Structure 1
Amino acid sequence: MGHLKPLALAAALLAAPAVAQGIDPTAGWPNTDFSTAIVDLSEVRSGGVPRDGIPALDMPRMIDAAREDGLAGAEPVLTVAFEGTAARAYPLRYLTWHEIVNDEVGGFPFAVTYCPLCNSAMVFDRRVGGEVLSFGVSGNLRHSDMIMFDRQTESWWQQAVGEGIVGVHAGTELVQLPGWLESWESFRAAYPDGVVMAEPRGFRRPYGRNPYVGYDTENWPFLYSGEEPPHGISPLARVVRVGDRAWTLERLSQVGEVTEAGVTITWEAGAASALDAARIADGRDVGQIRVRNAAGQDLPHDVMFAFAFHAFWPDGTWMLGG
């Protein structure tokens, strides 16, 4: 098993001492009904920060893309483009430090989420059973993936699968919406009239810096004790997940495009890894992908680490080609 560089996670997680002390991740949740858990709570571990220690954002300031001059061209952003509204870009330089953004456009509420430890970037509809939920970061992890909580019932939600795992909403699935990672340069070229999330105010965070230096080239993920992926795939290799299928980014980068299982996935160079260099803009080029159906419509998907796909979809299908 590899080890993380000494300073790589300290600024973001402050985790090593807390984990060593064996913090009970279920402590401090008096309003959460743990009798309804649908997962083994022994799999839940404290990430070393308390509830809201990583502060989620609500209704962030958005500015015209043409006015944003502080982002480097290769910096990754999570793009959300709903029909009839201006496309929106959420830079990973901010999501790395906040992980959840509760937003709304045209009266439609959605959550933009990013778990750096799994590289999982997903967008969800915040409407559940006629109620609009808002989400926060619990400070807990399962299979190294962020556990979110909703502020209305304090139910816990597994970010990588978008499902309630503890509390009133245990077993409830959030609706995942199309969203994709691409470079700022790519977004700006495709959506010159789009908007971009502005730098959050009131937080002392070194935006643009990567607190997980070298993480995606380590041998083993942080606070993960599960199995290695099959087929000799590195635990921290990126894979494109669509449903319960996964394509390795390595394969996609070699062929450029595949059409399989009813989807077309395209890869092109130009987007930096947010989990590589100390400055996100200097991260190595890992490329960017789009996932579309036969009609050319963007599909919900995720670009996550292989270990996380195997942990949450142990019976999933690996699309290896050949």
Structure 2
Amino acid sequence: MPMTTLPPDTYDAPWKQALELYIEAFLAFFFPAVHAAVDWTHPVEFLDQELQKIVRYAEQGVAHVDKLVKVRLKDGTSYWLFIHIEVQSQYDATFLKRMWVYYYRLYDRYGEAVVSLAVLGDEHPGWRPNDLRWERLGLQVQFTFPIVKLQDYRQQWALLETSHNPFATVVMAHLKTQETRHQVEDRKRWKLALARRLYQRQYTRQEVLNLLHFLDWMMYLPEDLDRAFWDEVKTFEEEQEMQHITFLEREALTRGSAEGFTRGSAEGFVRGQRQELLDNLALMLDLKFGEAGATLLPDLQQITDVALLRAVRNAIKSATTLDDLRAIYCAPTQSEEQKKPEPDLPALPPDTHN
């Protein structure tokens, strides 16, 4: 296979967008126990600005992705999930200390209702830091958090191929991007295989477009191979008698990848998801409540938060009245300033070790 020098692979931005679009699928795939504890009839909140204020020196770069997510648990309590994705190829000797610093700063703000989770995307199978211990002059500190190692999925490839979870595609793309760093023909072959798989998973059209964008963004190809890739996608669609990706959709995908997924294209995908949810809600409300269900549509059409619309959709099956659904998007939120601060935890000295 020819050796070709490619631009540095981009991992952080595609992961960030996938996490924002599919947070529920992310937790179900990587942290099922956490997913099972969350009440998904309530909207999820991404607190990016809060995270930047609390963890002042946290940086969003090519090395990692950080997200602070507020969720409601099934027991009625609110929790803050700090999700850290280490996407660089090399391991980071400061990782444990960073996780500790992030945690105690979040603890200072939110108390015990903070859970740290980490996904490690490096290429070192033996590097699995998730347990920090420190003892000095009778003081003992132990900090342990759940981690997922993407390299482990190389031995579970058959499970990835049969999974309907969008993050199976994300993981396969991540691993194959690493594996084909200098083999562009192999990368094109794998990118095409993963693209074809999207059409076989019974995803909605918007989900196919979202995940195609992810593949196109992460699995970069030179211009000639990129054209060949899209030609083969079109041929596959024709063979399967599927709705073609339009020229404008393709341009949006490739332009978004080339520009680092601009704010405009990101918002376009969110708008598409929102419209699809509104269409689904109209049908589900009609099936559940008949003509009365349509009275909710004007309210729902004013909602721009995709997570909130998804929460309403998820609650329709168990709802007995329309007021049950109204309560979801009309519920007042508790002021964060009313929460009592918890005592701070000590930071580790410079000679931190695990």
TM-score of the aligned structures, taking structure 2 as reference length: 0.23
Instruction: Considering fraction of residues, name the structure with more strand.
Output: 1
Q: Highest Rg: 1 or 2?
A: 2
